[in-house]
Amino acid sequence: MNRLDCRQLLPHLESHLRGDASEELRLLADDHLARCTSCRRRLAHLKQVTAMLAAWRPMPAPPGLKTETAAALGPDLGRLAREVFPRRPFLGRRRRERLRPPAPMTGYQRVATWLVIAALLFLGAAIAYRILQQWM
**List of residues contacting Zn ion (CB under 5 A):** 6, 36, 39
Q: What are the b/e assignments for 50-79, b being 16+ CB within 10 Å? A: eeeeeeeeeeeeeeeeeeeeeeeeeeeeee
Residue 37 vs 67, nearer CB to Zn ion = 37
Task: Enumerate residues 6+ apart whose C-beta is below 8 A from 73.
Answer: 80
The dihedral sign for the CA sequence 20, 24, 28, 31: positive
Residue 10 vs 127, nearer CB to Zn ion = 10
The distance of closest approach from Cβ of residue 45 to Zn ion in the complex, given in angstroms and rounded to an integer, is: 13
The distance of closest approach from Cβ of residue 23 to Zn ion in the complex, given in angstroms and rounded to an integer, is: 20
The distance of closest approach from Cβ of residue 48 to Zn ion in the complex, given in angstroms and rounded to an integer, is: 18
Residue 3 vs 93, nearer CB to Zn ion = 3
